[in-house]
Structure 1
């Protein structure tokens, strides 16, 4: 996995890149199907809802390793199946959504390069978001590896 961090005039950005051992269609499905997403993204079963279209809403209750639960909500800003997904995330106290961009590129018949990008207001927010995105990618990789063994 590679990580790029930048500090731009408009915020603090990061990009995480990984190559996954799964076809693009399977990675897309894992991000856009409630049952699959709940399994790898540490969401409480039955709490994930997705209306995967520009302007469509999504929500999930995430579970932390220490047992806490917190709700996330947002909307889909851009949907270009199966290569690009831009998610808007609602943040309490912020008038605008925070966006995260997911890009998928085929790297052969059964491999996908995934890039997650996000820009935050502060270095601390960026570091926390980057850590969370890294955990998401870890969960996704484990989920896809488990699929191959089934």
Structure 2
């Protein structure tokens, strides 16, 4: 959990990747790279990676739908940790932490979040697991 977390249903998922922490950080904080692995519509990603900076994109769903996402960077520890809000239309804003740590010749990327309900937590955990799988595939190429 992080300083912005209140109460609810927390989860944490991690993945060790065959890349450096610097490489994973770059892929997570550079708009062109981020949209490539995150599943965003080409040209839709904007990342202003600084405390108070905004981020946004349009996700492309498997059904062909377009889903706008966005939020604010709440904490930025260069090369190590991001805490960002995530505004999803029709749902309460969430706060997600992403940590990058060197681990045994690779990097361990961890996502933590607390959700208002168990159902939201299950969906968010599934989404975070997919995020980490996509990031790993991108940085391990």
How far is the alpha carbon of 1:92 from its aligned partner? 3.8
Structure with the greater alpha carbon radius of gyration: 1
Question: How far off is 1:99 after superposition?
Answer: 0.5
Name the SS for the 1:66 alignment partner: coil
RMSD: 1.6
| DSSP 3-state at the match of 1:136 | helix
Query: Superposed, which structure 2 residues align to 1:1-150 within 5 Å?
Result: 10-92=7-89, 97-108=93-104, 110-146=105-141
Change (3 A) 1:43 1:104: same
Aligned to 1:5: none
Deviation by residue 1:74-95 (Cα, 9 ceiling, x = unmatched): 010000011100011124466x
Superposition TM-score, scaled by structure 1 size: 0.85
Tell me the residue number matched to 1:6: none
Deviations 1:78-119 (A, max 9, x none): 00011100011124466x7311000111124x4101110000
CA distance in 1, matches of 2:59, 2:38: 8
After the TM superposition, which segments of 4 or more aligned residues of structure 1 sit over 4 Å from their partners?
none
Offset from partner CA, 1:121-143 (integer Å, 9 cap, x none): 00000011111111111111111
- Matched residues in 2 for 1:140 and 1:93: separation? 26
TM-score by length of 2: 0.90
SS at match of 1:125: helix
Q: Size of the alignment, in residue pairs?
A: 136
